């Protein structure tokens, strides 16, 4: 089977390409390298022992996509390409809607034209907003609080409408919780731009001495120790969930919407302690005010993923920390 992986040079996409190729799929990567490096493709090649087929280009470029679909007979598309910084989406909403919504529309239009109707979409638990029920089931109402989340909810809506209009489509909408970690080889991982927004890369930079301390955003939440609770999932577990979803839609038409999380919540201080224990490095911290827009606690109800995909996350918090730390050291050197 030949899979087009958009955004395959990025953090999650690169790990997906590795697992797809190791599982025997043929892969073509399309990426505009706006948030990634060509070197990642060489490193994927080193992990899998085979060169990665790559096209440098943009999912919004309809003529380029048309040429690509003329050149290759794709069976399915995994669509990772998109912008993902919540704060940036607030200050640059048009850029986010253009990239994430218009980009997805262009891709779907070309797929439809070429009768390629298997699609795996990177959505996000952010579509749940501030969920009323935790652990969060897929039936939780959609409620977005920023343009990034809204762009994901819009594409989800487009996909549902598409599936209703034409039952030939086979679509998996995967709602990620908090992906962390890196490939255990130390060859691929996340390239955070500038000051990291996310907890794990920030902790790793503090442990490495690149930053003085971690600011813990809020210590008065209604959680185990007052700090925010999230569902951290190892990126390799996450992408294995994509392979199960691809197999699932290969067997069944229609649309599947599924959480990808562990079902286990950890607080900021629990993560920090886990990182110190797993790596032997101290992570100094200070308790500061809440970060605007943050919710106190959310983690996945992973039961549906297990039921329909036969998938559950297996990698421990220790592995998440150790793999993040190994990657952090690679980034420094």
142: DSSP letter:
P
Query: 170 with 117: CB under 8 angstroms?
Result: yes
Task: Please name every residue paired with 121 in a beta bridge, in sequence order, or none if there are none.
Answer: 79, 173
266 is catalytic: no
Residue 97 contacts ligand NAD per CB under 6 A: no
- What does 5-44 look like in DSSP terms, one character per residue? EETTTSHHHHHHHHHHHHTT-EEEEEE--TTS-HHHHHHH
Select from 20, 44, 52, 81 the one that contacts ligand NAD (CB under 6 A).
81
Q: Are strands 232-234 and 214-217 parallel, antiparallel or unpaired?
A: unpaired
- Indicate the residue among 199 and 239 with the shorter CB distance to ligand UDP: 199
Of 91, 50, 87, 57, nearest in space to 71 by CA: 57
| Cβ-Cβ contacts under 8 Å for 47 (sequence gap 6 or more) | 18, 183, 185, 187, 188
Of these partners, ligand UDP, ligand NAD, none, which one is at the site of residue 319 (CB under 5 to 8 Å by kind)? Answer: none
Query: What is the Cα–Cα distance from 205 to 284, expressed in whole angstroms?
Result: 11
Smallest distance, Å, CB 294 to ligand UDP?
5
Of these partners, ligand UDP, ligand NAD, none, which one is at the site of residue 82 (CB under 5 to 8 Å by kind)? Answer: ligand NAD
**Interface map 193-232 toward ligand NAD (x if CB under 6 A):** ----------------------------------------
Residue 199 contacts ligand UDP per CB under 6 A: yes
Residue 84 contacts ligand NAD per CB under 6 A: yes
Residue 32 contacts ligand NAD per CB under 6 A: yes
Nearest 5°: the CA angle 241, 245, 249 is 175
Q: Give the residues lining the site for ligand NAD (CB under 6 A).
A: 6-7, 9-13, 31-36, 58-60, 80-84, 99, 103, 122, 124, 176, 179
Known catalytic residues? 148
Binding site for ligand UDP (CB under 6 A): 178, 197-199, 202, 214-217, 228, 230, 268, 291, 294
């Amino acid at each position: 089977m030949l899979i087009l992986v958009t955004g395959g040079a990025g953090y999650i996409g690169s790990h997906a390409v590795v697992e797809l190729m190791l599982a025997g799929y043929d892969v073509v990567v399309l990426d505009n390298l706006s948030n990634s490096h060509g070197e990642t493709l060489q490193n994927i090649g080193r992990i899998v022992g085979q060169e990665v087929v790559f096209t440098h280009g943009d999912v919004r470029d309809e003529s380029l996509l048309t040429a690509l679909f003329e050149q290759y007979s794709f069976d399915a598309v995994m669509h990772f390409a998109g912008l993902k910084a919540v704060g940036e989406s607030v200050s640059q909403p048009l850029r986010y809607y253009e990239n994430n919504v218009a980009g997805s529309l262009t891709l779907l239009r070309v797929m439809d034209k070429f009768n390629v109707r298997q699609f795996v979409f990177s959505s996000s638990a952010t579509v749940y907003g501030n969920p009323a029920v935790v652990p969060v089931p897929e039936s939780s109402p959609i409620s977005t609080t920023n343009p990034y989340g809204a762009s994901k909810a819009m594409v989800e809506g487009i996909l549902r409408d598409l599936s209703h209009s034409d039952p030939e489509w086979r679509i998996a909408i995967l709602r990620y919780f908090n992906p962390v970690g890196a490939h255990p080889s130390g060859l691929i991982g996340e390239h955070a731009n500038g000051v990291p927004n996310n907890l794990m890369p920030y902790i790793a930079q503090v442990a490495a001495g690149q930053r003085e301390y971690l600011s813990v955003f809020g210590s008065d939440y209604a959680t185990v120790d007052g700090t925010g609770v999230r569902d951290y999932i190892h990126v390799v577990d996450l992408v294995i969930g994509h392979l199960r979803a691809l197999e699932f839609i290969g067997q069944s038409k229609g649309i599947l919407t599924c959480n990808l999380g562990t079902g286990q919540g950890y607080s900021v201080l629990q993560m920090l302690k886990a990182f110190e224990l797993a790596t032997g490095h101290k992570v100094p911290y200070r308790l500061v005010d809440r970060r605007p827009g943050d919710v106190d606690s959310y983690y996945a109800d992973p039961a549906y993923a297990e039921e329909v995909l036969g998938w559950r996350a297996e990698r421990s918090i220790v592995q998440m920390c150790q793999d993040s730390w190994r990657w952090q050291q690679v980034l420094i050197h």
